[in-house]
Amino acid sequence: MPALTESFALPTQGKGTYDLTAQVARLVAKSGVRTGLATVFLAHTSASLVIYENADPTAREDLHRFFERLVPDSGNDYLHTDEGPDDTTSHLRMALTRTSEGVPVAGGRLCLGTWQGIFLFEHRSAPHRRTVWVSVVGE
């Protein structure tokens, strides 16, 4: 059975969503798995993953604004703020979205819908270098 676990680095330039679908698809191809499962995992607690609408950029703008309002960086009384006002709020936004995502593989390809992209959702204002792990198992 082929099985691959590999990571890649993704540099981020502040809050927002970053498409990593192509990098994941590349590792699925590399794995040789035809039928199975690809799992994407983000090794951080102040950024997250989300599968989101990949065509209209305003869809993701709405996502960013929604989270600024649901978990506002200012006017709160959080305790864990050593790294700034976006410290605890980054963790909370991460908890509300995803850290891992499993995507079935058929015919050697990710079974994503037409409008689905796999995005890293960066919650910190400062640039970061994020580590994304991909595991592919199957046959």
Pick the closest to residue 123 from 71, 81, 70, 86 (CA basis): 86
For the bound state, the minimum distance from the C-beta of residue 26 to a copy of itself, rounded and expressed in Å, comes to 16
AA letter at 12: T
| Selected range binding a copy of itself among 8-16, 18-26, 34-42, rule: CB under 8 A | 34-42
Given a contact cutoff of 8 angstroms between Cβ atoms, the answer to whether 136 and 38 are in contact is: yes
Given a contact cutoff of 8 angstroms between Cβ atoms, the answer to whether 29 and 108 are in contact is: yes
For the bound state, the minimum distance from the C-beta of residue 48 to a copy of itself, rounded and expressed in Å, comes to 10
**Burial tier of 93 (Cβ tally within 10 Å: 0-12, 13-18, 19+):** buried
Closer residue to a copy of itself (CB): 34 or 125: 34
Contact set with a copy of itself (CB under 8 A): 1, 3-7, 35-37, 39, 41, 43-45, 50-53, 56, 58-59, 61-63, 65-66, 70-71, 78-80, 82, 88, 91-92, 95-106, 111-113, 115-116, 131, 133-135, 137-139
